[in-house]
């Protein structure tokens, strides 16, 4: 079905989550997402569970949504993403629902709630705005972050870096990593799911012999920049931000291909309450204004089609992240056991 | 007797108290008790407790003077301190003084355990007494602010900071607690606070900070991951650990100014 026909069918069936027809017409445009100007105002009470973890810019987005929608009474409960996911599941087991919407900073926690059958199915036009590979029926990725290989330009050329993450086990490069860091553990989880337990354990053991550990991934990237290590494993935004603060930094950014080394993880949002309000709230986060804001200010990767990535990052469709249902990253316990068993943690 | 030491007077204490109170989701190890949200009603009780503590310490030091270290059980010093409500009041109001009290308690204990001359023991006793009275002054001032509604209630759950500037305030507060726990001779707990503060708070703002001043962030990275943990692990003096923390707090103030300016210049979402 063509996209235009599809939207027409949605409008006829009246299942587009309360969007006015003018907005549906705008959704038909393939370019750069829906504008906030085309969305209906948000009115009523809404309770958001917001996973803490980013540097405050989600709060700016929420404040802007509230300012634009004076009849919206937004209650926010903040906490670590995993703890909020647990709370939602526990509340449901107790027969109560306090959260109308859950915005998680990583997709792993999303899986816990969707698997419990607590998330509503999203209207198809919401998912259709997202890039291929990031369309899910019961939750929506908001923005993404990609695993990268920051490397020191004075010590290496990009051609000297393996494009296979597993090949780092045999390389003689000096590597920086942050095993205690949550994003690194999600990356190892992806490797475990894609390559298997034994291969992942062997990789961890081999890399550990040449790796220097850091507490966080900004520390990894700074060590690469100083030349203390040749290459690191880190989320993309640390390199972009360090370059922004230190334009002379001799930092390159490389990617592996089709493996856990270039995993794209995402923050995710889901509606738990019936009705249009929670769905339309999600639409606000997928507008081109919010997506562009998070790209330019937080260096996050927009996951709505047609929105430019943050400066310094190639378009997502030129990178080849692995095919992996991100909600499977919730399966963290075996990862931690594995990392402890090989002495990495 | 010095109820309100000169160094406590003036605006810096007021600002410190308000800041300490406004950013203090961390609670004491044990039950705090609702009294900390009704300080004015308990000032008399706290004053009696401070007088009692001063008397208990003096009795122990006098016993040491008369009979040597075999005549006293210095482990009781910590019990005296942990047994009073004033303990929670000062811990929730002004952590730097809380640290000084622990430091003073262990200094008296150490001087006695090592069989130091009386002059040295009395000197440490005087410093401890000064910290106890200083703390009472801080609590009295906080009570006045609480009465005027200028201080938020002590939270029973961790609400957490929501902006980068608030986060930096919380980091400074937690660093005060590092000194407090170190002074309490709980090195592992102090190290745990350093580690958690870095991973759960500083790591969340350093990305934005590095855009503003990469060298400052590198400095703080080193402080969090090398300088401060090393000084704790090496068993440096409480004053030395405090000096590291004070230097870090100065850098965090610079960060706060940078982030505030960046936030003021940030583009609108819509």
Q: What is the pLDDT of residues A253-306, one digit of tens each?
A: 999 999 999 999 999 999 999 999 999 999 999 999 999 999 999 999 999 999
**In chain A, residues 240-259 whose CB comes closer than 8 Å to chain B:** 241-242, 244-246, 249
For helices A236-245 and A217-226, what crossing angle results, to 10°?
Answer: 50
The average pLDDT across A144-167 equals: 96
How close is the nearest chain A Cα to the Cα of B251, in Å?
17
Query: Considering chain A, what percentage of its residues have pLDDT values greater than 70?
Result: 90
Q: Is pLDDT at A81 greater than 50 in this prediction?
A: yes
pLDDT at residue A41 above 90?
yes
* CB-based contact A297 B213, cutoff 8 Å: no
Q: Which residues of B touch A214 (CB under 8 A)?
A: 225
- Identify the band that residue A55 occupies on the pLDDT scale cut at 50, 70 and 90: low
Contact indicator for B100, B149 with CB cutoff of 8 Å = no
What is the Rg, in whole angstroms, of the alpha carbon atoms belonging to chain A? 21
Q: Does residue B13 surpass a pLDDT of 60? A: no
Ramachandran assignment for B2, one of left (phi > 0), alpha (psi -120 to 50 degrees), beta (any other) = beta
Whole-angstrom Cα distance, residue B175 to residue A341? 33
CB contact A292 to B (< 8 Å): no
Chain segment B123-177, per-residue pLDDT in tens: 999 999 999 999 898 888 888 888 777 665 554 344 668 788 889 999 999 999 9
Q: Is the pLDDT of residue A50 over 80?
A: yes
The enclosing H or E element of A66 equals helix A57-68
Residue A151 phi, psi dihedral angles, 5° rounding:
-140, 155
Closest approach of B220 to chain A, Cα-based (Å) = 11
Distance CA(A89)–CA(A94), nearest Å, equals: 9
Closest to A273 measured CA to CA, from A124, A102, A127, A105: A102
pLDDT of residue B12: 40
Residues of A in contact with B210 (CB under 8 A): 218, 238, 241-242, 244-246
Counting residues of chain B whose pLDDT is more than 90, the rounded percentage is: 52
Instruction: Nearest by CB to B204, from A53, A65, A246: name it.
Output: A53
- Lowest average pLDDT, out of A15-19, A332-336, B179-183, goes to A15-19
**Does the structure show a pLDDT above 50 at A22?**
no
Is residue A132 scored above 80 in pLDDT? yes
Q: Is B204 in Cβ contact with A218 (below 8 Å)? A: no
Average model confidence (pLDDT) across chain A? 88
Q: What mean pLDDT comes out for the span A103-122?
A: 89
Instruction: Determine which of A31-40, B7-16, B206-215 has the lowest per-residue pLDDT on average.
Output: B7-16
How far apart CA A336 and CA A330 sit, in angstroms, is 12
What's residue A62's pLDDT?
A: 95
For B21-36, write each residue's pLDDT tens digit.
433 333 334 455 667 7
When pLDDT is cut at 50, 70 and 90, the band that residue A333 belongs to is: confident
CB A228 within 8 A of CB A212: yes
Task: Please name the residue of chain B whose CA is at the shortest distance from the CA of residue A296.
Answer: B267
């Amino acid at each position: 079905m063509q996209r235009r026909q599809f939207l027409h069918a949605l409008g006829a069936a009246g299942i587009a989550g309360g969007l006015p027809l003018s907005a549906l017409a705008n959704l038909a445009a393939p370019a750069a997402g829906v504008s906030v100007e085309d969305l209906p105002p948000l009115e009523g009470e809404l309770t958001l569970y917001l996973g803490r973890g980013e540097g405050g810019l989600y709060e700016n987005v929420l404040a802007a949504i509230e300012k634009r929608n004076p009849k919206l009474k937004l209650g926010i409960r903040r906490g670590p993403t995993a703890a909020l996911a647990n709370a939602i599941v526990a509340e449901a087991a107790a027969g109560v629902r306090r959260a109308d919407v859950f915005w998680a900073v990583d997709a792993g926690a999303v899986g816990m709630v969707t698997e419990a059958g607590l998330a509503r199915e999203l209207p198809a036009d919401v998912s259709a705005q997202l890039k291929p590979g990031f369309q899910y029926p019961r939750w929506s990725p908001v923005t993404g972050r990609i695993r990268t290989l920051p490397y020191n330009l004075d010590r290496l050329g990009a051609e000297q870096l393996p494009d296979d993450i597993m090949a780092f086990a045999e390389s003689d490069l000096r590597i920086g990593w942050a095993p205690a860091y949550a994003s690194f553990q999600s990356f190892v989880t992806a490797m475990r799911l894609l390559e298997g337990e034994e291969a992942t354990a062997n990789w961890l053991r081999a890399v550990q012999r040449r790796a220097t550990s850091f507490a966080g991934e900004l520390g990894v990237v700074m060590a690469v920049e100083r030349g203390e290590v040749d290459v690191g494993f880190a989320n993309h935004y640390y390199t972009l931000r360090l370059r922004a603060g230190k334009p002379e930094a001799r930092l390159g950014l490389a990617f592996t291909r089709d493996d856990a080394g270039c995993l794209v993880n995402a923050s995710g949002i889901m509606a738990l309450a019936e009705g249009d309000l929670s769905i339309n709230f999600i639409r606000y986060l997928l507008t081109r204004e919010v997506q562009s804001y998070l790209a330019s200010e937080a260096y996050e990767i927009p996951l709505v089609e047609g929105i430019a990535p943050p400066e310094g990052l190639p378009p997502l469709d030129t990178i080849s992240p692995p095919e992996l249902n991100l909600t499977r990253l919730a399966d963290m316990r075996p990862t931690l056991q594995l990392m402890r068993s090989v002495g990495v943690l | 007797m010095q109820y309100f030491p000169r160094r406590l007077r003036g605006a810096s204490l007021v600002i410190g108290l308000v800041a300490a109170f406004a950013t203090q989701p961390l609670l004491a190890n044990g039950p705090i008790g609702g009294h900390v949200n009704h300080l004015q009603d308990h000032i008399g009780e706290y004053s009696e407790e401070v007088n009692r503590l001063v008397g208990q310490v003096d009795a122990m030091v006098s016993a040491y003077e008369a009979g040597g270290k075999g005549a006293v059980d210095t482990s009781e010093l910590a019990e005296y301190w942990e047994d009073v409500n004033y303990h929670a009041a000062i811990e929730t109001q002004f952590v730097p003084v809380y640290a000084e009290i622990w430091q003073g308690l262990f200094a008296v204990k150490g001087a006695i355990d090592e069989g130091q001359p009386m002059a040295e023991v009395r000197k440490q006793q005087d410093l401890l007494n000064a910290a106890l009275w200083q703390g009472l002054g801080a609590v009295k001032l906080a009570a006045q602010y609480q009465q005027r509604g200028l201080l938020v209630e002590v939270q029973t759950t961790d609400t957490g900071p929501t902006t980068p500037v608030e986060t930096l305030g919380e980091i400074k507060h937690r660093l005060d607690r590092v000194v407090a726990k170190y002074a309490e001779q709980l090195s592992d707990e102090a190290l745990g606070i350093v580690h958690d503060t870095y991973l759960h708070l500083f790591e969340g703002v350093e990305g934005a900070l590095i855009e503003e001043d990469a060298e400052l962030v590198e400095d703080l990275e080193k402080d969090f991951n090398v300088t401060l943990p090393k000084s704790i692990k090496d068993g440096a003096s409480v004053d030395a650990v405090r000096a590291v923390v004070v230097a870090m707090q100065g850098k965090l103030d610079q960060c706060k100014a940078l982030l505030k300016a960046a936030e003021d210049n940030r583009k609108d979402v819509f």
